Chain A
Amino acid sequence: MNPIKALARRLAFLACLGAAVGLMLIGKLETVLVEEVRAAVTDVAAPVLDLISQPVSIFVHYARGLHRLAELKADNERLRAENERLRRWQLHAQRLDGENEALRKLLHFKPEPAVTQVSARVIADTGSAFVRTVLINAGTREGVAAGQTVVNGQGLVGRVAQVANRSARVLLITDLKSKVPVIVGEGRRRAILAGDNSDLPRLEHVDGETPVANGDLVLTSGHGGVFPPGIPVGRVTGAKGGVVRVRALAAWDQLEFVRVVGPGEEPFATGMLE
C-alpha cells in the first residue's frame, strides 16, 4: 500500500470514529434535536420496515402454528375450562354493569370523555440490549401523542416516548428509563416498577413492612398521572438477592399488535384477571 493511501485510510477511520463519538455526545446533550431527526428518519423507514415485518410475521405465524399443532388437544381442554370460567365472569360483569349504570344515574355521575384508541402493529423491535423500545406503525396522523399509554390484550406494554407522522416509538416497561407507579397485591401496596433492560422489571420503594408474595398481581396506580390507574401490569415472580421482580403479563416475545390509549381511559376491567 502506498503511503498516501494508508494516510487516507487512517484519516477516514479517524473521521468515522470522531463522527460516532461526536454523535453520541450530541445525542446526550441535544436530546430534543437528535430525537427529532431520528423521528424524521424513522418515518421514512417505517414503510420499509412495515414491508419487511409482514412476511416475517406470516412466517412466524406458520412456524408457531406447526408448534401448536402438537398441543391442540390439551389446549382445547384448557380453553373449554377457561371458557366456562369466563362465562361465569361475563354474567358477573353484566350484573355489575347494570348495577353501575343504576348507581351512576342515582349520583348524576359524569362519565369521563371518550378518549381516542388506536390499534397499531409493531414494525420494529430494538434488537439491542441497551434499550427496550418498539416502533409502531401509527403516529400523529392516527392521533397518537407522546405520553399515551400502550397496552395489548394481556396488559401494560409501555408508553409512547416519541411520535412521528406515521410511526411512534414505545418505551417498554422493561426499559432502563421506565418507571411505573404501581400497586401490588391484595394489600394494595404502592411501589415503583423500574425497568433495567432485562425481561423482568424490578419493584422498588415498596410501601409497608411485610414482603410482597409470589404471584401478587401488579396494577398501575395512576399516581403521577402518566398511566391511567388499574391497568394490569404483571405478577410478582419472587425475590432474589433482595430484589423483587415482576413478570409482565404482556408476552415480550409475541408482541405483534398493541393499542394506544389516551390518559384517563380504563382499557381493562381489572377484576377479570383475579
Chain B
Amino acid sequence: MPPIAQALDTWLRSAVPSVVALGFVLVGIVPWPLPGLTSVAPLFGLIAVHYWTVHRPVVMPVAAAFLLGIAHDVLGGGPIGLNALVLVATHAVVGSQRRHLARRPFIVDWCGFAMVAAGAVALAWLAASVYLGQLLAAGPLIVQYLLTVFAYPAFAWLFARLGLVLFGKGFDAARV
C-alpha cells in the first residue's frame, strides 16, 4: 500500500469508533415506545467514551468526546454543553486512571465504569441543577445510571469485536 493510502486507511479505521458512538447516541435519542422505557435511555455516549478511552485512547480524542456530547445536547433538547461537559470530564478522569483499567479482567473494567458513570451522572445532576436554578429529582437519573451500567457489558462485547476487526490481534479487548 502506498504511504498515503495507508495513512488514509489508518485514519478511517480510527474514525469508526466515534462514528459508531454517534450512531448509538442517535439511537438513544430516537423514541423507543416500549412500556416502562420512558424517556430515560442508557447514556450510550458515556459507554463509548469510557470503553475507547480505556482500550484504545487514540481513537477517542477529547474532541470526539466533546462532539458526541454536543450532538446529544443539541438534538436531545437539554442545556447545550451539559453532556459535552460530562463526557469531557469523563474522558479526563478515565484517561488518568487508564493504567488501573486497561488490560485487566473485564470485571475490573466494569466496576471502574460503574464508578466513573456514578461520578458522571452526579456531575450532570449538579450542572443541570445549577443551570436550571433548582434541585432536580434524582429518581430518573438513578434509573438512567443503572440502565447504563447494566448495558455496559453488551456494548463492551460489541466494541471489543469492533476493535479486533479494526485494529487486529494487538487490540486490548479486555478479558471477559
What separation, in Å, do the CA atoms of A129 and B42 have in the docked complex? 11
A253 in contact with B34 (CB, 8 Å): yes
Chain B residues, Cβ within 8 Å of A60:
32-34
B136 in contact with A13 (CB, 8 Å): no
Q: Is A254 interfacial (CB-CB < 8 Å)? A: yes
Chain B residues, Cβ within 8 Å of A21:
81, 85
Q: Is B132 interfacial (CB-CB < 8 Å)? A: yes
A20 in contact with B31 (CB, 8 Å): no
What separation, in Å, do the CA atoms of A257 and B147 have in the docked complex? 26
CB distance from A253 to the nearest CB of B (A): 5
* Stretch in A97-105, A193-201, A207-215 touching the partner: A193-201
From A22, A127, A252, A255, name the one whose CB has the most chain B CB atoms within 10 angstroms: A127
* Stretch in A47-55, A87-95, A181-189 touching the partner: A47-55
* Stretch in B71-79, B99-107, B151-159 touching the partner: B71-79
Q: Which of A18-33 contact B (CB under 8 A)?
A: 19-24, 26-28
What separation, in Å, do the CA atoms of A49 and B139 have in the docked complex? 28
* Stretch in B9-17, B87-95, B108-116, B168-176 touching the partner: B87-95
* Stretch in A77-85, A117-125, A225-233 touching the partner: A117-125
What separation, in Å, do the CA atoms of A129 and B66 have in the docked complex? 20
What separation, in Å, do the CA atoms of A176 and B136 have in the docked complex? 9
Chain A residues, Cβ within 8 Å of B128:
130
Query: Which one, A16, A22, A126, A134, contacts B62 given CB within 8 A?
Result: A16
Q: Is A116 interfacial (CB-CB < 8 Å)? A: no
Contact mask for chain B residues 48-90; partner A; CB cutoff 8 A; 1 contact, 0 none = 0000000000000111011001101111111111101100110
- Contacts A16-B65, A20-B85, A132-B39; is A27 near B79 (CB within 8 Å)? yes
Q: Is B141 interfacial (CB-CB < 8 Å)? A: yes
Chain A residues, Cβ within 8 Å of B132:
130, 176
Q: Which of A46-67 contact B (CB under 8 A)?
A: 48-49, 52-53, 56-57, 60, 63-64
What separation, in Å, do the CA atoms of A34 and B136 have in the docked complex? 23
Q: Is B122 interfacial (CB-CB < 8 Å)? A: no
A122 in contact with B140 (CB, 8 Å): no
B27 in contact with A20 (CB, 8 Å): no
Query: Which one, A41, A122, A133, A198, contacts B74 given CB within 8 A?
Result: A41
Query: Which one, A22, A45, A135, A197, contacts B77 given CB within 8 A?
Result: A135
Chain B residues, Cβ within 8 Å of A2:
none
Q: Is B118 interfacial (CB-CB < 8 Å)? A: no
Chain B residues, Cβ within 8 Å of A196:
137
Query: Which one, B30, B35, B66, B77, contacts A20 given CB within 8 A?
Result: B66
Besides A13-B92, A22-B81, A133-B77, 11 new A-B residue pairs in contact (Cβ under 8 A), listed by A number: A13-B91, A16-B62, A23-B70, A23-B81, A42-B75, A123-B31, A127-B40, A129-B144, A130-B82, A253-B33, A253-B35
